[in-house]
């Protein structure tokens, strides 16, 4: 599965038919100096931590993944079976590139990586997620995070 | 996620989306997006290719330095120019030894046991185990799955192996863990593409055949919850017969 044209017809049809919200012109945060960028990662892969509660298929909130949590503790609990999981199974960075982000800090591409990253269950309507996104924004600001890289699956 | 990007940007957090479906990026119009020509499930491209992944992340984060044109209603959308090198099949890869046919195994439990050595080797190779969402040992998971496969028509499913989960939900998690177990085992050697791994699972294993058979049984039954489970949460669309 690569581009839409490489997908099975049923998968293409499903993606084409998905209700995409019309959100108009996006807001725009002016450019931030690289040295001042502190970046958090936000996944939609329904990542859970081993031994903790499973994530409901329609969960509107997010999981927090602290830097101290080893990749080995992370599992994919997403409700969809229609995306590849073998990449994540071999390397968590395919979905949540914490190690890559740290390396880019060392390169000077950004100033710092957030100590905590986040994962939503990516099968929920945006309206239901809105209050949790607002909560996340507050948490990011409180932690000095001024940028986020979002990685849908 | 593009909708989340809109909301975070309004809250003063600069955002960039690494997106896999260009149509959705165009329609939802997040502030900044890097479209990547990779398969669903792999926003960063190939596993265990740190240099390539850094290129992807570098390209995405570079969009945070752009200045938007005044009066523009459009977000920034840039295409990442490189294909995932792991999207090409590994010509040297072979399925796990002894796994030439699903008919060789009388149950998923027996098939799992036959894959144990490869699974262990894969965990050692990659330093991680993707199995665990069901919160059971693989033997427990396989035993429950085999018991479900023995159910006829709309007869009750066996009792859930977890007190906090319904049998339907336990089955969904067990299926996920069994698939993860098999696919990890099959990736113990070489650099198989996801296509090679999934083709093997769904066409050559008892697990793949059993999942497809359960799906058909659930769709033909009269239990709405099982129908939904079979329809949406067990077999990828690409492998529905």
Question: pLDDT tens digit string along A98-112?
Answer: 999 999 999 999 999
- Residue A1: pLDDT band by 50, 70, 90 thresholds? very low
Q: Quick count: other Cβ atoms within 10 Å of Cβ B130? A: 25
Predicted local confidence at residue A10, as pLDDT? 63
Q: What is the DSSP string of B112-163?
A: HHHHHHHHHHHHHHHT-----TT-S-HHHHHHHHHHHHT--TTPPPPPPSST
Please give the Cα distance from B120 to B115 (Å, whole number): 9
pTM value? 0.94
- B190: pLDDT strictly greater than 80: yes
The answer to whether B88 contacts chain A (CB < 8 Å) is no
Q: B94 CA to chain A: closest CA distance, Å? A: 16
* Tokens coding B214: 């359960």
Confirm if A87 and A1 have CB atoms less than 8 A apart: no
Q: What is the ipTM score, two decimals?
A: 0.94
Interface touch B43/A153, C-beta < 8 Å: yes
Question: pLDDT tens digit string along A130-139?
Answer: 999 999 999 9
Please give the Cα distance from B226 to B241 (Å, whole number): 18
The proportion of chain B whose per-residue pLDDT surpasses 70, expressed as a percent, equals 96
Question: pLDDT tens digit string along B51-69?
Answer: 999 999 999 999 999 988 6
Please give the Cα distance from B77 to B151 (Å, whole number): 51
Please give the Cα distance from B194 to B200 (Å, whole number): 10
Element (H, E) at B3: helix B2-10
Confirm if B171 and B229 have CB atoms less than 8 A apart: yes
Interface touch A23/B28, C-beta < 8 Å: yes
Interface touch A75/B132, C-beta < 8 Å: yes
Predicted local confidence at residue A3, as pLDDT? 54
Task: Give the 3-state secondary structure of A8-39.
Answer: CHHHHHHHHHCCCCCCCCCCCCCCCCHHHCEE
The proportion of chain B whose per-residue pLDDT surpasses 90, expressed as a percent, equals 86
Question: pLDDT tens digit string along B111-165?
Answer: 999 999 999 999 999 999 999 999 999 999 999 999 999 998 889 999 999 999 9
Angle of CA points B177, B180, B181, to nearest 5°: 85
- Residue B99: pLDDT band by 50, 70, 90 thresholds? low
Predicted local confidence at residue A9, as pLDDT? 65
B40: nearest CA partner in chain A: A83
Interface touch B187/A86, C-beta < 8 Å: yes
- Residues of B with Cβ-Cβ distance to A150 under 8 angstroms: 1-2, 4-5, 15-18, 30
């Amino acid at each position: 599965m690569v581009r839409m044209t490489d997908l099975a017809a049923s998968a293409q049809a499903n993606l084409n038919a998905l209700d995409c919200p019309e959100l108009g012109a996006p807001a725009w945060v002016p450019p931030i100096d690289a040295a001042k960028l502190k970046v958090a990662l936000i996944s939609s892969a329904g990542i859970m931590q081993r031994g903790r509660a499973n994530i409901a298929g329609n969960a509107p909130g997010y999981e927090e993944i602290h830097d101290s949590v080893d990749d080995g503790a992370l599992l994919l609990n997403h409700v969809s079976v229609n995306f590849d999981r073998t990449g994540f199974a071999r390397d968590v960075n395919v979905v949540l590139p914490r190690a890559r982000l740290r390396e880019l800090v060392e390169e000077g591409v950004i100033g710092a990586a957030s100590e905590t990253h986040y994962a939503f269950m990516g099968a929920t309507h945006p309206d239901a997620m809105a209050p949790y996104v607002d909560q996340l924004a507050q948490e990011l600001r409180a932690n000095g995070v001024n940028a986020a890289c979002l990685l849908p699956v | 996620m593009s909708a989340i990007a809109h909301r975070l940007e309004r809250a003063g957090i600069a955002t960039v989306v690494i997106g896999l479906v260009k149509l959705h990026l165009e329609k939802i119009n997040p502030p900044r997006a890097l479209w990547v020509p990779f398969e669903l499930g792999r926003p960063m491209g190939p596993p265990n290719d740190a240099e390539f992944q850094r290129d992807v992340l570098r390209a995405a984060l570079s969009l945070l330095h752009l200045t938007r044109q005044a009066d523009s209603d459009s977000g920034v959308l840039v295409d990442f120019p490189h294909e995932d090198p792991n999207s090409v099949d590994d010509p040297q890869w072979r399925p796990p030894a002894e796994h030439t046919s699903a008919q060789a195994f009388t149950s998923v439990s027996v098939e799992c046991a036959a894959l144990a050595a490869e699974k262990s080797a894969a965990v050692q190779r990659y330093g991680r185990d993707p199995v665990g969402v069901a919160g059971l040992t693989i033997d427990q998971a396989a035993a429950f799955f085999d018991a479900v496969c023995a159910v006829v028509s709309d007869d009750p499913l066996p009792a859930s192996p977890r007190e906090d989960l319904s049998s339907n939900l336990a089955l969904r998690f067990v299926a996920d863990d069994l698939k993860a177990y098999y696919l990890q085992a099959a990736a113990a050697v070489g650099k198989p593409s996801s296509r090679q791994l999934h083709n093997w699972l769904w066409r050559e294993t008892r697990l793949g055949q059993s999942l497809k058979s359960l799906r058909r049984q659930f769709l033909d039954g009269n239990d709405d919850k099982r129908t939904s489970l079979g329809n949406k949460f067990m077999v990828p669309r690409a492998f529905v017969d």
